[in-house]
Amino acid sequence: MKKIAALLALAVLVVAQSASAQTLKTVKDRGILNCGSNGTLAGFGLPDAQGNWTGLDVDLCRAIAAAIFNDPKKVKFVPLSAKDRFTALQSGEVDVLARNTTWTSSRDTSLGLNFTGVNYYDGQGFVVRKALKVNSALELNGASICVQQGTTTELNLTDYFRSHNMQMKSVTFATANEAVKAYDAGRCDAYTSDASALYAERLRLANANDHIILPEIISKEPLGPMVRQGDDQWFDIVKWTLFAMLNAEELNVTSKNVDEAAKSDNPEIKRLLGTEGNFGEQLGLTKDWVVRIVKLVGNYGESFERNVGQGSPLKIDRGLNRLWNKGGIQYAPPVR
């Protein structure tokens, strides 16, 4: 009896222990990166008919896989709902959560998770029918608004209407899909979400041209990837993967010219691409980690244009997401 009890108790302990620390080693041993992704949002995370995932968040996971394995395909994408995403990362089901998640103080402190940076500066907006002849969100007093559950959107919506002394009726759905469908069926006057998502969702409406996106952006929505607390090495790897993509764009290193650039005399490029110093090894990766990322996935600008920018159906202007020296606020610390 006692033996069995001791064994069972030990099993419980071992199962619980395995979820902590040493993420890089776990990922390497497993041979594949588990990435929590959206799964239904064009431009950020969406599999096509062949099961190939594309999107800005997807590219970030591919870049991490490229840096570790020199193969951007060694990623298993786990589609997560807004509601389940944090639990999946906390429990170790995924190694990194790149699922258009807004960075807020409570999420950063009380979930046992950390944001590593911002890969898309977004803000919340509204889409309405043109027939309503509404030109501003301030005219939405008394409207019904469809919204997805478990998002910052839900809270911002209440705050915005309250601070402008307006009334509204929110109708909450578990997934963005259901919320958009209900809006399309006329259940609500407006659908609200991050502006980037509105551009993507509008494409799925029965008649996209009957709907307009209102000019107001009612909140700050810095979207970024998350990792578990307590593994600083893994935190650094995810953080610097994004910085590497931003630095590559700043130094005009693209997927096409990266081999040429590696021969450059520019000391900044030399440090970035690992021909000088061993910054990659300090992260627990190889010297040429950025070469791998840029060659196999691309720099931040390439990823942006391909997924959400002019090269995509969404055609979102880069706006705030331009580099700092081009009028935006995307700014990466230097590699040195």
Partner 1 sequence: MSTTDLTRGDPPARVPFYNNPKVRSLAYQFALCVVIVLLVWGAASNAIDHLRRAHIASGFGFWNTTAGFDISQTLISYSAQASTYGRAFWVGLLNTLLVAGLGIVFATIIGFVVGLSRLSKNWLLAKVAGGYVETIRNLPLLLQLLFWYNAVLKALPEIRDSLTIGGAVYLNNRGLFLPKPSALSGFGWVEIAFFVGLVLSIVFTIWARRRQERSGAQTPVLWVTLGLVVGLPVIALLATGVPVLFESPQAGRFNISGGIEVLPEFAALLFGLSIYTAAFIAEVVRAGITSVSRGQVEAAYSLGLRPRPTLRLIVVPQAMRVIIPPLTNQYLNLVKNSTLAVAIGYPDLVQVFTGTVLNQTGQAVEVVAITMLVYLTISLATSVAMNVYNSRMTLVER
173 part of the interface to partner 1, by CB under 8 A: yes
CB count within 10 Å of CB 92 equals 14
4 vs 49, which CB is nearer to partner 1?
4
Binding mask 222-241 for partner 1 (x = CB under 8 A): ------xxx-----------
Residue 282, interface with partner 1 (CB under 8 A)? no
CA 224/CA 118 separation, integer angstroms: 4
| Cβ closest to partner 1, residue 125 vs residue 309 | 125
Query: Which residues, numbered 58-117, are part of the site for partner 1 (CB under 8 A)?
Result: 82-83, 86-87, 90, 106-107, 109-112
Distance CA 91, CA 240 (A): 24
Give the residue among 60, 52, 56, 29 at the shortest CA–CA distance from 41. Answer: 56
Among 30, 130, 169, 256, binds partner 1 (CB under 8 A): 169
**Shorter beta-carbon distance to partner 1: residue 143 or 285:** 143
Position 93, amino acid: E
Q: Is 252 a binder of partner 1 (CB under 8 A)?
A: no
Least Å distance, CB 271 to partner 1, is 34
213 binds partner 1 (CB under 8 A): no
DSSP, collapsed to helix, strand or coil, labels residue 28 as helix
Least separation in angstroms between residue 281's CB and partner 1 is 29
Question: Could you give phi then psi for residue 100, rounded to 5 degrees?
Answer: 25, 60
Among 122, 123, 92, 87, which Cα is nearest to 107's?
Answer: 87
Q: Cβ distance 198 to 125 under 8 Å? A: yes
Q: Report whether 86 contacts 111 (CB < 8 A).
A: yes
The answer to whether 225 touches 96, Cβ cutoff 8 Å, is yes
Look at residues 206, 211, 208, 205 and name the one whose alpha carbon lies nearest to residue 189: 211
**Judged by CB under 8 A, which of 144, 233, 254, 264 binds partner 1?**
144
Q: Which amino acid would we find at residue 116? A: T
Q: Which is nearer to partner 1, 146 or 253 (CB)?
A: 146
CB of 280 to partner 1, least distance (A): 29
Judged by CB, which is closer to partner 1: 32, or 174? 174
- Tell me: does residue 276 bind partner 1 (CB under 8 A): no
Q: What is the largest distance, in Å, between two alpha-carbon atoms of the chain? A: 75
Binding-site member from 26, 70, 170, 255 for partner 1 (CB under 8 A): 170
SS3 279: helix
Among residues 5 and 49, whose Cβ is nearest to partner 1? 5
Indicate the pairing of strand 190-194 with strand 96-102. unpaired
Q: Does 138 bind partner 1 (CB under 8 A)?
A: no
Residue from 18, 52, 158, 266 touching partner 1 (CB under 8 A): that is 158
12 binds partner 1 (CB under 8 A): yes
Contacts of 81 (CB under 8 A, 6+ apart): 150, 174, 175
Minimum distance, C-beta of residue 276 to partner 1, in the bound complex (Å): 38
Q: Given the rule CB under 8 A, which residues bind partner 1?
A: 1, 4-5, 8-9, 12-13, 16, 19-20, 82-83, 86-87, 90, 106-107, 109-112, 132, 140-144, 149-151, 154-155, 157-159, 162, 167-174, 178-179, 181-182, 185-187, 189, 228-230
